[in-house]
Amino acid sequence: MPRYDFRTPRIHVDAALAAGAQVPLDRDQANHLCNVLRLKAGDAVLVFNGRDGEWGAELSGSGKHIAARLDRQLRPQPPRADLDFLFAPLKHARLDYMVQKAVELGVTRIRPVLTQHTQVTRINLERMRANVIEAAQQCGVLTIADVGEPVQLKTVAAADPERLLIFCDEDAEVADAIMALGKARPQPSALVPSDAAAVQKLAVLIGPEGGFSEAERALLMQRPNIVRLSLGPLILRADTAAVAALTLTQAVLGNWRS
């Protein structure tokens, strides 16, 4: 069997997973599997819950009583990373895209941040959570990112000072982003082995379409653990900037490294 099976339909459930368990599916899941994908009893599906890894299962039952009978675990639950994604909310379509890409890129927490120039203040957190689960189902992700309530920027500036905040600022001096992030990587020592040094609490902050105000920049730069990062000479939309910043962060500081 390949490491990741992208051909077999994947479904997310809340129930605990164990060999032999019968996990009932909700109406929407049953409709999608049986009426849209035309699956029937005995057909294979993959089941995960964000806690117990990924399991192979077979559909059972009919009509309104469709369940997945678990066979064996195919992938164990991986260690949970520690990457926050903080962003000024966008309008629906672009927000959906940004949340989905953030999940694909391995974030573990998603939180809207309200800034001086934020244009969207009404945020549908249930829609955001649904996008998190959909992205995880489609892309083989086993960890379900937490979705937090919106917070003010001043809260972000003051919270969790041990966490490295990667502050993506369109007014930052254009420099080598990989080199800038590399300088923030913990170095192994006699007291801290290399594998422990690789584990780092991270957060990526993306601003609104109107950018950060000077007062907000000054507030953020008072943090003790921050990298002010330019994403290059091009002007990026906020959702594109999110993908670029998360890609750089995972490649240099995150779990993309061996």
**139-183, pLDDT tens digit by residue?**
999 999 999 999 999 999 998 999 999 999 988 888 889 998 998
Distance CA 192, CA 186 (A): 9
Q: Which segments of the chain belong to CATH 2.40.240.20?
A: 10-75
Whole-structure pTM value: 0.89
Q: Contact, 111 vs 151, CB < 8 A? A: yes
Q: Contact, 255 vs 142, CB < 8 A? A: no
Q: Which CATH superfamily is domain 10-75 in?
A: Hypothetical PUA domain-like; domain 1 (2.40.240.20)
Q: Contact, 66 vs 33, CB < 8 A? A: yes
- Asked whether residue 197 carries a pLDDT value surpassing 80, the answer given is no
Q: Is 83-252 in CATH node 3.40.1280.10? A: yes
Q: Which segments of the chain belong to CATH 3.40.1280.10?
A: 83-252
Q: Considering only residues 103 and 175, tell me which one the structure prediction assigns the higher pLDDT.
A: 103
Distance CA 224, CA 243 (A): 25
Q: For the chain, what percent of residues have pLDDT higher than 90? A: 71
